[in-house]
Amino acid sequence: MGQTQQSCQTGSKGQITSRYNDTVAQKRVFWAIVFFCHLWNPSDLFIDQSENSSAILWWLWNYCLSLQAEILVLTNKAIIMMKKLFLLTVLCALVGTAAFGATLKRTILSHNGELTQYDAINWQDAINDAVDGDIVYFTAGLFTGNLTIDKAITLIGAGVAETDAFWHNQDIDPVYAGCGTSGETTVLDGEITIAIPGSKTLTKPVMEGFHLNRFVTVTEPVKGVVIKRCQSQSYISASASVTNLTLESCFINTIYCANMVAPIIRNCYTDKLQGAPTDATIVNVMAIWLEGCNNCTFINSGYDMLSGSSFNTFVNCFYQNGDVNSSYTNCVQIENSQRVTKAQMTENNWYGNDGKVIGPLGGNYPFTLIPSQPSVKTNSINYDNSKKQLNVNLTIKQGK
């Protein structure tokens, strides 16, 4: 997108002009001065003092009053011009900003093919105005404030830039090559509550492509909540019975699985997987610590430590500390499963049951922080000099 710099001008030569006749005013001021200078010696004005001095003074007084009125008119006109000049300066600043293609932080509501933009202050209004089935896009930037999602809508951020990613090693770093650069992360800094009423069954993801600074809680018994391609430095939990909650390709500090029925956790990295989910499916997940996880199935995954976790099934997994009450099939006990590389897997023929690498980079949903759906990379304005108009430009990044 090209950007055009536009200068602000008034008139053909950029000058502010007035219709007031300055020459006439100067002449009137000059003769007024003459009359004042000779006021104490009226004879110099070739007028008989005894008969006409009162008339002269009266005429001069009225003339000065009229001159004063004209000066006031001129002053008022100058004030009006100054106001116009001030407004013009503000407009120049705005257009000047637009000319350089200033990036705007926005939310954009997509409803039945129509797009509505909301500014940085009123960004939550896009969510308030949305109805079931709508999509709300977020540009990159920091969005501060608690957020409640109480409709079957989808929020799509710009993703997480490589410089903002939490998880790094020699295998994962190349994955970030397609992510945004510094400053292209959508950050939600607030508590997020998913409170969709009516025990609905969702068919589309709720959130995708965000960095989350605070926790996410599901408070209604909804089915099919999907959060994907996000990273959180806090936790996700459910305070109501939630069925088939899916976490896909996420980095989440802590996943509290209590109240989750048949959750699906795939291609994720977590420091701690905690709680007792019922009939959980955990595929291509890497966890440092399993706490209170019972009767779960882990496939093509890995973990280091566990406590209070028993009667689990592990298939094609890495692990550091085992549990006598759990079953392990085609698993490898290793000192630190977090540091196993692709090269080591290839050398030792350690693969999942799908023939792909174990952990978040394998399987059918390899880890990435790039949104799977199209997202708004940038939103900017610039001034088209040839058309004399402001243009709003959206740069859409295709999903992966």
Question: Are residue 388 and residue 357 in the same domain, yes or no?
Answer: no
Mean pLDDT on 331-351: 87
The pLDDT tens digits of the residues spanning 264-283 come to 999 999 999 998 777 888 99
Question: Are residue 222 and residue 120 in the same domain, yes or no?
Answer: yes
Average pLDDT across the chain, whole number: 77
At which residue do the structure tokens 């710009």 appear?
158
Q: Which of the listed residues 99, 133, 157 is the one where a domain comes to its end?
A: 99
The total of other beta-carbon atoms located within 10 Å of residue 78's CB is 12
Q: How far apart are CA 325 and CA 313, in angstroms?
A: 9
The pLDDT tens digits of the residues spanning 380-394 come to 666 667 776 656 666
- Domain-embedded: residue 2: no
Question: Are residue 299 and residue 207 in the same domain, yes or no?
Answer: no
Quick one: pLDDT at residue 149? Answer: 97
Mean pLDDT on 358-384: 80
Q: Which of the listed residues 99, 114, 145 is the one where a domain comes to its end?
A: 99
Residue 189: pLDDT band (50, 70, 90) is very high
Question: Are residue 161 and residue 277 in the same domain, yes or no?
Answer: no
The pLDDT tens digits of the residues spanning 115-163 come to 898 988 999 999 999 999 999 999 999 999 999 999 999 999 999 988 8
Question: Are residue 50 and residue 90 in the same domain, yes or no?
Answer: yes
The pLDDT tens digits of the residues spanning 216-253 come to 999 999 999 999 999 999 999 999 999 999 999 999 99
Question: Are residue 62 and residue 156 in the same domain, yes or no?
Answer: no
- Domain-embedded: residue 8: no
In this predicted model, which residue has the larger pLDDT, 59 or 280? 280
Quick one: pLDDT at residue 279? Answer: 80
Quick one: pLDDT at residue 81? Answer: 56
The answer to whether 221 touches 196, Cβ cutoff 8 Å, is no
- Domain-embedded: residue 180: yes
Q: Which domain holds residue 205?
A: 102-244+367-400
Question: Are residue 208 and residue 310 in the same domain, yes or no?
Answer: no
Question: Are residue 387 and residue 356 in the same domain, yes or no?
Answer: no
- Domain-embedded: residue 261: no
Task: Evaluate if residue 109 carries a pLDDT over 90.
Answer: yes
Q: How far apart are CA 214 and CA 233, in angstroms?
A: 7
The answer to whether 228 touches 372, Cβ cutoff 8 Å, is yes
Quick one: pLDDT at residue 5? Answer: 30
- Domain-embedded: residue 385: yes
In this predicted model, which residue has the larger pLDDT, 329 or 166? 329
Share above pLDDT 70 across residues of the chain, in percent, rounded to a whole number = 69
The pLDDT tens digits of the residues spanning 27-52 come to 444 444 444 444 444 433 333 344 44
Question: Are residue 217 and residue 135 in the same domain, yes or no?
Answer: yes
Quick one: pLDDT at residue 225? Answer: 97
What's the number of domains the chain is made of? 3
Residue 372: pLDDT band (50, 70, 90) is confident
- Domain-embedded: residue 251: no
Question: Are residue 282 and residue 373 in the same domain, yes or no?
Answer: no
Question: Are residue 141 and residue 224 in the same domain, yes or no?
Answer: yes
Q: How far apart are CA 176 and CA 374, in angstroms?
A: 17
- Domain-embedded: residue 236: yes
In this predicted model, which residue has the larger pLDDT, 60 or 324? 324
- Domain-embedded: residue 1: no
Question: Are residue 373 and residue 321 in the same domain, yes or no?
Answer: no
